[in-house]
Amino acid sequence: MHNIREVPLIMLGLGNVGRALLRQILAARETVTERRRVRLVPVALADVSGLLCDPAGLSDETLERALAVVSAGQLVAAVPGAQPALTLDAVLRPGTILADLTASPATLPTLHAALACGAGVVLANKLPLGRRWEEARVLFEHPNVRYEVTVGAGLPVIATLRYLLDTGDRVARIEGCLSGTLGYLCAQLEAGVPYSEAVSQARALGYTEPDPREDLGGKDVGRKALILARTAGWPLEPDAITIEALYSESLATASTEEFMKALGVHDADYRERVGAARTHGCTLRYVAEVCPTGGTVGLREVPQSSALGALRGPGNYVALYTERYAEIPLVIAGPGAGPEVTAAGVLGDILALASSGYA
Amino acid sequence: MHNIREVPLIMLGLGNVGRALLRQILAARETVTERRRVRLVPVALADVSGLLCDPAGLSDETLERALAVVSAGQLVAAVPGAQPALTLDAVLRPGTILADLTASPATLPTLHAALACGAGVVLANKLPLGRRWEEARVLFEHPNVRYEVTVGAGLPVIATLRYLLDTGDRVARIEGCLSGTLGYLCAQLEAGVPYSEAVSQARALGYTEPDPREDLGGKDVGRKALILARTAGWPLEPDAITIEALYSESLATASTEEFMKALGVHDADYRERVGAARTHGCTLRYVAEVCPTGGTVGLREVPQSSALGALRGPGNYVALYTERYAEIPLVIAGPGAGPEVTAAGVLGDILALASSGYA
């Protein structure tokens, strides 16, 4: 009944999310074509080492080889035909979709170039969206940009927010737990595990970055709060979000090793805060909250019987308070991390953009 | 940067949802045009009395007059230019969107005709979707059909389900509380209010249909469960959903008045069930559950501390258990009723269909 459209795809970044996406694209090719009448054609793959590129579409053989590359930055060394120079001129054109699956602060000019030439952009990378409003603005306002997975991974948070706004609702306030890592930490503290042990465990389980301060500092959650606020229509600057770090200022400049050794200095403090919360019928959660004038991100006492208090482990939770959902919020919840669900969210964005016939 | 597309719109039904939708379209016209580059042009409005129709677009004056009609079925009597004959031939064409906002079992042939001529269809009406699979199938399989608000009103339940399937996930089980009315009833029973009083209150507050058996019978929830199952890809027949009614068989044929008088016969039974649940640390909820082979809809004991147990009043709750969300489900929750949020959901569907450039 309908023709199948070919949509060229450029992928920047071949880490866990990039590889999961490539696998999903290969595995779901028939489903996608049948259900959405779109065929995604990878035309370029890039990692920090360089670029694989073929305007006619990379062969399945080449894609499989790229998938077999084990460590990041090995594309040029491991796959024949990959070039060290990263120039996308041969493939950037209207109707192409560029997916930024890196965690790099340096992709912004490439994203701007893609939009300028009529390509669409899908971001898993939060950094460009967290820049000063002047720099980030186009990413929030351009109709050909999607960034669903930057908040809640595969959970449809941004899409829901957009749908409310598109249909004339007004957002008053957004509240949520946006970090699986810090959710795990809070649950451990609640269960009586000392702070130092909980952080060490989380690190050993791979829930944190190699330097846990990346997570404990709250900047990542702050960036998600900023992305929610900007999507809601509030052009906030990064410093409008007040962030509480879960370690003391004095440990900010220590080496990772020193930091891990010094964790115990916080045990008594967090034990006390958990105990105080309990006497109020509450528990501690790392909560993000934004409204039109700014936001806060930090540890907060929430009633044990509340939805936030009932949250366990890696669960994410976002409550949208709007004109229409004023008393009881619209809630999206579920696991908000992991390469598979993140890649699925990116694929969802790519399909939404491809189906919007924007080009 | 992009041209604005005019999308002709046919609206069947001018009840609470139809009127709320028309108001939202008029109020959000500029927002929608700016954000989605689409201008919705109502070309026909119909209620049971007849039709207002102008292929060039009904004037704002005419639309305002239609909005001023107070009771259903008064369109022809109250608005100059409305015709008693319901023939859409003048406006059914490719690219048009027809919204079925009725609660009528009789619209199915019109929906089929719309799809056959290349129009899109948006349903707030659950009845066509709940027919035998053979009759309903096209509504679930045709790419130009949307029916978000038939489950959870404005909550993005169907969209989320579709996104998971589109990106290659597989649904294992869906569980939820899908009736604000029965949610209210359960909360009242939990608070110690006798069944007869809780039902009378719900009716007095307008939460139930004039004959409360329409709600208590569970058929509406059963239909929602069937819609979820069929969307998940399971072509179930209506009798695959087992439904527990919240009144006894012996009262099925009584008049409404007789039924309301006889409510007290159930008080002891429900008091006992609430008490039994409490001794297990549970509370009663009217729960729908579907899996690939069938489903059940009925009163169930759920732990007080669970998400379902924590649900209050008109809250709806849908948990999707899939291959990707296997242990912790993806949850959508919030108030799932009311003309404003329902109309917003319909508007969301219309915009999604219009932006998909399907025609």
3-state secondary structure chain A: CCCCEEEEEEEECCCHHHHHHHHHHHHCHHHHHHHHCEEEEEEEEEECCEEEECCCCCCHHHHHHHHHCCCCCCHHHHCCCCECCCCCCCCCCCCCEEEECCCCCCCHHHHHHHHHCCCEEEECCCHHHHCCHHHHHHHHHCCCEECHHHCCCCCCHHHHHHHHHHCCCCEEEEEEECCHHHHHHHHHHHCCCCHHHHHHHHHHCCCCCCCCHHHHCCHHHHHHHHHHHHHCCCCCCHHHEEECCCCCHHHCCCCHHHHHHHHHHHHHHHHHHHHHHHHCCEEEEEEEEEECCEEEEEEEEEECCCHHHHCCCCEEEEEEEECCCCCCCEEEEEECCCHHHHHHHHHHHHHHHHHCCCC
- The pLDDT tens digits of the residues spanning A299-335 come to 999 998 788 887 877 789 999 999 999 999 999 999 9
pLDDT score of A2: 57
* Six token digits for residue A24: 């999903």
Q: How far is B178 from chain A (nearest CA, A)?
A: 14
Neighbouring C-alpha atoms within 13 Å toward the C-beta of B118: 10
Per-residue DSSP letter, B3: P
Q: Are B130 and B227 in contact (CB under 8 A)?
A: yes
Interface mutation target, options A166, A170, A346, chain B, most CBs of B under 10 Å: A166
- In this predicted complex, what is the ipTM? 0.92
CB atoms within 10 A of CB A334: 25
Q: Which residues on chain A are in Cβ contact (under 8 Å) with B303?
A: none
pLDDT score of A304: 85
Q: Do A167 and B347 touch (CB under 8 A)?
A: yes
Rounded to whole angstroms, the Cα distance separating A38 from A355 reads: 7
Q: Tell me which H or E stretch contains B75.
A: helix B75-78
Q: Are A106 and A320 in contact (CB under 8 A)?
A: no
Q: Do A167 and B355 touch (CB under 8 A)?
A: no
Q: Tell me which H or E stretch contains B319.
A: strand B315-322
**In the predicted model, what is the mean pLDDT of residues A26-41?**
83
The DSSP string of B122-146 is: EE---GGGGS-HHHHHHHHH-TTEE
User: Sign (positive/negative) of CA torsion B124, B127, B130, B132?
Assistant: negative
Return left, alpha or beta for A234; rule: phi > 0 is left, psi -120 to 50 is alpha, else beta: beta
Q: Tell me which H or E stretch contains B315.
A: strand B315-322
Cβ-based neighbours of B116, under 8 Å, separated by 6 or more: none
- The pLDDT tens digits of the residues spanning A61-73 come to 999 999 988 777 8
Rounded to whole angstroms, the Cα distance separating A66 from A74 reads: 9
Interface mutation target, options A22, A167, A190, A305, chain B, most CBs of B under 10 Å: A167
* Six token digits for residue A299: 């540890």
- CA-nearest of A174, A161, A187 to A286 is A187
pLDDT score of B288: 98
Rounded to whole angstroms, the Cα distance separating B16 from B342 reads: 10
Reported as a pLDDT band with limits 50, 70 and 90, residue A86 is low
Residue written as tokens 């603005």?
A: A137
Query: Would you name the residues of B annotated as active-site residues?
Result: 224
Angle between helices B219-231 and B133-141 (to 10 degrees): 50
Indicate which residue of A126, A219, A224, A261 is catalytic: A224
Per-residue DSSP letter, B159: H
Q: How far is B281 from chain A (nearest CA, A)?
A: 14
- If you measure CA to CA, which chain A residue comes closest to B324? A341
> Which amino acid is present at A352?
A
pLDDT score of A1: 45
Reported as a pLDDT band with limits 50, 70 and 90, residue A32 is confident
Query: What is the number of residues in chain A?
Result: 359
Q: Do B166 and A348 touch (CB under 8 A)?
A: yes
**In the predicted model, what is the mean pLDDT of residues A295-300?**
98
Reported as a pLDDT band with limits 50, 70 and 90, residue A121 is very high
User: Sign (positive/negative) of CA torsion A334, A338, A340, A341?
Assistant: positive
Rounded to whole angstroms, the Cα distance separating A94 from A116 reads: 9
Q: State which residues of chain B have pLDDT below 50.
A: 1, 359
pLDDT score of B252: 94
Position A359 pLDDT exceeds 60: no
Burial of B60 (0-12, 13-18, 19+ CB in 10 A): exposed
Nearest by CB to A344, from B167, B312, B328: name it: B167
Q: How far is A255 from chain B (nearest CA, A)?
A: 36
Q: Do B330 and A334 touch (CB under 8 A)?
A: yes
Phi, psi of B3 (to 5 degrees): -70, 155
Nearest by CB to A166, from B2, B35, B167: name it: B35
Rounded to whole angstroms, the Cα distance separating B169 from B231 reads: 13
Per-residue DSSP letter, B50: E
* Edge-to-edge strands, sheet with A315-322: A241-243, A294-303, A282-291, A171-177, A315-322, A330-335, B330-335, B315-322, B171-177, B282-291, B294-303, B241-243
Distances (CA, A) of A99 to A46, A343, B34: 10, 11, 25
pLDDT score of B1: 45
Q: Are B165 and B234 in contact (CB under 8 A)?
A: no
Q: How far is A121 from chain B (nearest CA, A)?
A: 16
pLDDT score of B86: 67
pLDDT score of A357: 59
Q: Do A348 and B163 touch (CB under 8 A)?
A: yes
Nearest by CB to A168, from B24, B310, B314: name it: B24
- The pLDDT tens digits of the residues spanning A185-213 come to 999 999 999 999 999 999 998 888 889 99
- The pLDDT tens digits of the residues spanning A130-139 come to 999 999 999 9
pLDDT score of B191: 93
Q: Which residues on chain A are in Cβ contact (under 8 Å) with B187?
A: none
pLDDT score of B38: 87
Neighbouring C-alpha atoms within 13 Å toward the C-beta of B336: 29
Q: Which residues on chain A are in Cβ contact (under 8 Å) with B21?
A: none
Q: Are A5 and A354 in contact (CB under 8 A)?
A: yes
pLDDT score of B307: 82
Q: Which residues on chain A are in Cβ contact (under 8 Å) with B345?
A: 167
Please count the residue pairs, one from chain A and one from chain B, whose beta carbons lie less than 8 angstroms apart.
134
Q: How far is B196 from chain A (nearest CA, A)?
A: 27
